[in-house]
Amino acid sequence: MEDYLAEGNAYCSDRKVIHKEATIKILRVLSGDKNVDDTEEILKALDIAEEDEISMCELFDQYTRRGISQGISKGIIIMCKDFNATYEDTLQKLKNKLNISEKEAEEQMKLYW
Distances (CA, A) of 5 to 2, 12, 15, 20, 25: 5, 11, 15, 16, 14
Q: Per-residue pLDDT for 50 more than 90?
A: no
What does the mean pLDDT of the chain come to? Answer: 88
User: Can you give the residue ranges of every domain in the chain?
Assistant: 2-112
Q: Per-residue pLDDT for 40 more than 70?
A: yes
* pLDDT-derived band at 1, boundaries 50, 70, 90: low
Phi, psi at 49, each rounded to 5° = -100, 150
Query: Under DSSP, is residue 34 helix (H, G, I), strand (E, B) or coil?
Result: coil
60 and 67 in contact (C-beta within 8 Å)? no
Cβ atoms < 10 Å from Cβ of 105: 22
Each residue's pLDDT tens digit, 63-99 = 888 889 999 999 999 999 999 999 999 999 999 999 9
